[in-house]
Structure 1
Amino acid sequence: MAELITTARPYAEAAFSFATENKQLAEWSDALNNLAVIAQDAQMEKFIGSPRHSDAEKLSVFESVMGSKLSDSVKNLLVALADNGRLNALPEVAKLFDQLKATAEKRIKATITSARKPTAEQQRKLSAALNTKFDAEVDIDYVVDDSLISGIRIKVGDWVVDNSAVTQLQKLGAAIAY
C-alpha cells in the first residue's frame, strides 16, 4: 500500500497543479473519482493487471466508459499512467488529489465515534472546537458504536483522540498486568 501511495503521489500532484492553474479542481476531482471507481471494479482490476492486453486496449476501456466526461487533459493523465503501467494507482491518485484539494480549500474530514448519537448542541461544540484546532472547515462524520461503552473517539487524518471507556479499560488492564 505504501508503495502504491509513493507511485500515485507524483501523478496526483501534477494533476492538482494543472487543475489549480486552470481553475478546474472540481472537474478533475469528479473525473478522477469516476476513474477510480472504474479501476476498482474486480473485473477491471484483472484486466488492468493482465499483460495480454495492450496499454491502448486498457485506455480504450476507460475512454468508452467515461465517454464525453473525459476531458483531453484527464485523458493525458490516463495515457501517462497507462504508458508507465500505473493504471492500478488510479484510486490512490484520486484519494491524494482530493486530499490536496481539501487542504487548498482549508477543508478536512473528521470521524467522531461515540457510544450514542451526540445531541445537536454537542455536535455544534465539537464542530467549533475542531474548526478552531485545525484552522479549517471540518466535515464531520458521526458514527455510533455502542461497543465503546461511553466516551468518544475523534480521528482527523493521523491525529486521534480516544477517550472511550473501552480504551480506558484496556489501558487499566495493561497497567495492572505489569
Structure 2
Amino acid sequence: MAEFATIARPYAKALFELAEEKNHIKSWLGGLKELAWSVQQPQVAALVENTETDSKYKADALIGLLGDSEAMKSETFRNFVYVVAEGKRLQVLPEIYAQYQDLALSRDNAKKAVIYSAYEFAGEGQKAKIVSDLEQHFNSRLDATFKVDPSLIGGFKVEVGDQVLDLSVQAKLQKLYTAMTN
C-alpha cells in the first residue's frame, strides 16, 4: 500500500523525532505496536471507519484500549493519537508503526529481517547462530523474526529490507527446472 506509506511517513517521522527528544523511543514503539494491532481488529476497524463517529471519541476509545501502558503515560503520545484521529488517519496506524520501527532500527544501525524456514528451528541457540551468521553476511545488526513456510521444503529464506537470500530447497529446485527447460 504505497498510498498508506506516503501518508504515514510524516506522522512516523514527527513522532520519532519527539520520542528521541523525550527519550521514549522504545516505550512509544510498544504503544504504536498495540495501536496498530488494535485498529486491525474487526470491531475497532468498524469504529475507525465509521464516518458518523466523532474523531475525539475514536481517539478516546483507542487510548482507553491501551489503558496504563507506558506510552499512554505520556501526554505527548496521547496528543499524537488525537492528531492522527483528527486527520482521519487511524487506519494508517499499522504503517506508521512499521515506519517508526524502521526509524528506530536505523538509529541503532540495525535492520529488520524475516527468516522463513520449512520447519521450526530446534532452539534459541540455533536461531542465535543463524542470526549471527546472517549479521556477518548482511554486515549489519539484525532484528530477526522467524516464520515457518512449509512450501520451502527445506533450508531457509531471508528477507532484509529489499534484499532476499534464498537458500531453500524450493529455490534450488526452481533453478534446476529453469535450467532443464531452457
**SS of equivalent to 1:169:** helix
Q: Spell out the pairing of 1:116-135 with structure 2 (5 A cutoff).
A: 117=121, 126-135=130-139
Give the match for residue 12 of structure 2. 12
Q: For this pair of structures, how many residues does the alignment match?
A: 178
Give the match for residue 156 of structure 1. 160
TM-score normalized by the length of structure 1: 0.84
**SS of equivalent to 2:23:** coil
Give the match for residue 52 of structure 1. 52
Quote the Cα distance in structure 1 between the aligned partners of 2:51 and 2:118.
49
Give the match for residue 139 of structure 1. 143
What RMSD, in angstroms, separates the aligned Cα atoms of the two structures? 2.5
Structure label with greater radius of gyration: 1
**SS of equivalent to 1:152:** strand
Note if contact 2:102-2:112 (Cα within 8 Å) is conserved in structure 1. Answer: no
Note if contact 1:39-1:90 (Cα within 8 Å) is conserved in structure 2. Answer: yes
Give the match for residue 104 of structure 1. 107
The 1:101–1:148 alpha-carbon spacing in structure 2 relative to 1, beyond 3 Å, is same
Quote the Cα distance in structure 1 between the aligned partners of 2:65 and 2:150.
42
Give the match for residue 32 of structure 1. 32
The 1:67–1:123 alpha-carbon spacing in structure 2 relative to 1, beyond 3 Å, is closer
Task: Return the match for 2:92 from 89, 103, 112.
Answer: 89
Deviation at 1:121, TM superposition (A): 8.0
Note if contact 1:106-1:135 (Cα within 8 Å) is conserved in structure 2. Answer: no
Deviation larger for 118-127 or 88-97:
118-127
The 1:142–1:62 alpha-carbon spacing in structure 2 relative to 1, beyond 3 Å, is closer
Quote the Cα distance in structure 1 between the aligned partners of 2:38 and 2:126.
39
Q: Percent identity?
A: 32
Quote the Cα distance in structure 2 between the aligned partners of 1:17 and 1:28.
11
**SS of equivalent to 1:81:** helix
Deviation at 1:102, TM superposition (A): 1.2
**SS of equivalent to 2:51:** coil
Deviation at 1:15, TM superposition (A): 0.5
Deviation larger for 149-158 or 115-124:
115-124
Structure 2 residue identity aligned to 1:157: G
Deviation larger for 132-141 or 156-165:
132-141
Superimposed CA distance per residue, residues 34-59 of structure 1 (whole angstroms, 9 cap, x where no aligned partner): 22222122111111111111112212
TM-score normalized by the length of structure 2: 0.82
Quote the Cα distance in structure 2 between the aligned partners of 1:45 and 1:143.
26
The 1:89–1:141 alpha-carbon spacing in structure 2 relative to 1, beyond 3 Å, is closer
The 1:172–1:48 alpha-carbon spacing in structure 2 relative to 1, beyond 3 Å, is same
